Structure 1
Amino acid sequence: MSLIQIAYVSRPFGYDAAALAGILVDARARNRQDNLTGALICRADLYCQLLEGPEQAVQACFARIARDDRHLEVRKLATLPISDRLFPGWDMRHDPAESWMWSREETTAGHVESATALDILAVFRKLAAGRGAPE
């Protein structure tokens, strides 16, 4: 079975604690069923997610997200074949990343749009390794 990762960013629509809780409950249940793992970094101005698992299931999940009205401006940043998962024990890890991702000002100024796939994957590698803020 071939495994892939997809990393994407989007802007939340109607973001609040209840919306986030709903997304996490839905994602964890569906991901467990579909053998997907990953992490969701989210704030009021940004979703950044890494999905990983069997190629067909990851692609189907991303297609659902792209149609989900809780996400605006969904932009796929990377699709990569993998041999090992970064988040093997997480149906969907959640991290608010308040202090170490782009600031709201940087997000507004377009830093997310100029980030490369390698930049985004480095963020998730830090998260998987248990590190938050860059040294």
Structure 2
Amino acid sequence: MRLGQLIYTSRPFGFDAPTLDDILLVARANNARSRITGALICRADLYMQLLEGPRDTLTDTFGRILRDDRHLEVRLVHCSDAPARLFPEWSMRDDPPHSWMWTQEQVRAGAARDALASEAMDVFARLATLPRGG
């Protein structure tokens, strides 16, 4: 099995706590079954998600995300082979945005849309070193 990592950003459509809870509930069940791990950073103006697992499974999962009407302006930021998982214990870690991430003004100006793969990977690598919610 070739391990891959995929990062995408999107703009939420109809963001609220019940929508997020539903996304996380379904993602955790599907990901555990498909051997996918990762993390979701979400706020009212941004979803940014890292998925890691078998390459073919990541492709299928990303296809479902592209068809999901809760995501607008989906952009693939990074997709490559990976030497190891950043979130091996998490079928889907969810975290609030942190002060070192983009401001709402930066997101409106296109920071997430224009992010380089290395910038997105740095966000998740840093998140992986923090305690949940930290």
Same structural fold, with TM-score higher than 0.5 when normalized by the shorter chain: yes
**Which amino acid in the other structure matches residue 118 of structure 1?**
S
- Gaps (5+ residues) in structure 1? none
**TM-score (ref. length: structure 1):** 0.94
Moved over 3 A (4+): none
CA distance in 2, matches of 1:114, 1:72: 15
Counterpart for residue 77 of structure 1: 77
Q: Is the Cα–Cα contact under 8 Å of residues 43 and 98 in structure 1 kept in the other structure?
A: no
Counterpart for residue 21 of structure 1: 21
**Which amino acid in the other structure matches residue 42 of structure 1?**
C
Counterpart for residue 115 of structure 1: 115
- Gaps (5+ residues) in structure 2? none
CA distance in 2, matches of 1:74, 1:111: 14
* Count of aligned residue pairs for this structure pair: 132
Give the superposition deviation at 1:23: 0.3
CA distance in 2, matches of 1:96, 1:11: 15
Give the superposition deviation at 1:25: 0.2
Identity %: 52
CA distance in 2, matches of 1:74, 1:110: 13
Counterpart for residue 124 of structure 2: 124
RMSD of aligned residue pairs (Cα, Å): 1.3
